[in-house]
């Protein structure tokens, strides 16, 4: 069994290879290690190997990990569904929230972000493949939500996030990622730090890098099965 350090090295090498192949700037795709359902020990191994960014979906589990490591050099991203009664703890404990899908949640995060912390980085989650079962805002509603969120002073709107419908072929995966990229490019001017296109998981990594992803989110291929 490869170690977590070896898995991280392999994924970084794969990302660099795709960046090169698709004429992306080297290092322009960041890696978010999705650590939901993974143990403290495994996360500690990843930290030792140099990983700083972690994604979590479940608040209680995440809070235990954040307080266990209590390390300001780590960056915790909330990427799960958000219930409105959880926004306060999310606003107090995370550096990023990638799963904002309506204004009510954005406003609560803004109002509850503690004064002593910098503005909370957020991404708007888009239901890019327009699936009934997926979370995220509909494509048609994204521009309005971007405008609204850009006006909240305690949030920094960094970009868009999506979990595209699974497709087998690279070209079909690229079409899904491209839809998100085009939407993102058209919204650039609405926010000051709109630099994040969060797309790409284990099975569509190549397509995502080809289409300009700036942050891929990988769990199982780093830590093993949950």
Ligand X SMILES: *Cc1c(COP(=O)(O)O)cnc(C)c1O
Q: How far is the CB of 122 from ligand X (least distance, A)?
A: 14
Q: How far is the CB of 11 from ligand X (least distance, A)?
A: 10
Length in residues, the chain: 226
Binding segment (CB under 6 A) for ligand X, from list 39-47, 101-109, 110-118, 213-221: 213-221
The 172-201 site mask, x for binding ligand X (CB under 6 A), equals -----------------------------x
Residue 65 to residues 6, 28, 43, 74, 76, Cα–Cα distance (Å): 23, 28, 9, 11, 10
Among residues 40, 160, 217, 224, the one that binds ligand X under rule CB under 6 A = 217
Reading the block at residue 147, the tokens are 């405008």
Distance (Å, whole) CA 34 – CA 222: 8
Among residues 47, 57, 74, 148, the one that binds ligand X under rule CB under 6 A = 57
Question: CB of 218 within 8 A of CB of 4?
Answer: no
Reading the block at residue 58, the tokens are 């479940």
Question: CB of 178 within 8 A of CB of 200?
Answer: no
Instruction: Name residue, tokens 């079909």.
Output: 172
Binding segment (CB under 6 A) for ligand X, from list 41-49, 103-111, 138-146, 217-225: 217-225
Instruction: Name residue, tokens 């960056």.
Output: 75
For ligand X, which is the closer residue by CB, 212 or 219? 219
Distance (Å, whole) CA 86 – CA 109: 9
Residue 165 lies near ligand X (rule: CB under 6 A): no
Residue 64 to residues 56, 68, 70, 78, 192, Cα–Cα distance (Å): 11, 6, 10, 14, 33
The 130-159 site mask, x for binding ligand X (CB under 6 A), equals ------------------------------
Q: How far is the CB of 99 from ligand X (least distance, A)?
A: 7
Among residues 11, 146, 163, 215, the one that binds ligand X under rule CB under 6 A = 163
Binding residues for ligand X restricted to 66-125, rule: CB under 6 A: 79
Contacts to ligand X by CB under 6 A: 34, 36, 57, 79, 163, 201-202, 217-221
């Amino acid at each position: 069994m490869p170690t977590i350090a070896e898995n991280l090295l392999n994924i970084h090498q794969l990302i660099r290879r795709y960046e090169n192949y698709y004429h992306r700037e080297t290092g322009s795709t960041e890696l978010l290690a999705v650590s939901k359902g993974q143990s403290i020990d495994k996360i500690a191994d990843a930290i030792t190997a140099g990983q700083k960014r972690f994604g979590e979906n479940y608040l209680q589990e995440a809070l235990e990990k954040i307080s266990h490591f209590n390390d300001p050099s780590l960056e915790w991203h909330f990427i799960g569904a958000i219930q409105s009664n959880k926004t306060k703890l999310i606003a107090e404990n995370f550096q990023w929230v990638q799963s904002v899908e309506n204004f009510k949640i954005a406003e609560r995060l803004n109002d509850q972000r503690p004064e002593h912390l910098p503005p909370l980085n957020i991404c708007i989650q888009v239901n890019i493949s327009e699936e009934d079962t997926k979370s995220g805002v509909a494509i048609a509603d994204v521009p309005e939500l971007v405008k609204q969120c850009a006006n909240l002073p305690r949030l920094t709107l960094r970009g868009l996030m999506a979990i595209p419908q699974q497709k087998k072929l690279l070209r079909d995966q690229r079409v899904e990622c491209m839809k998100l990229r085009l939407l993102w490019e058209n919204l650039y001017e609405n926010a000051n730090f709109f630099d994040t296109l969060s797309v790409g998981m284990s099975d569509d990594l190549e397509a995502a890098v080809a289409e300009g992803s700036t942050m891929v989110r990988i769990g199982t291929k780093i830590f093993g099965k949950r």
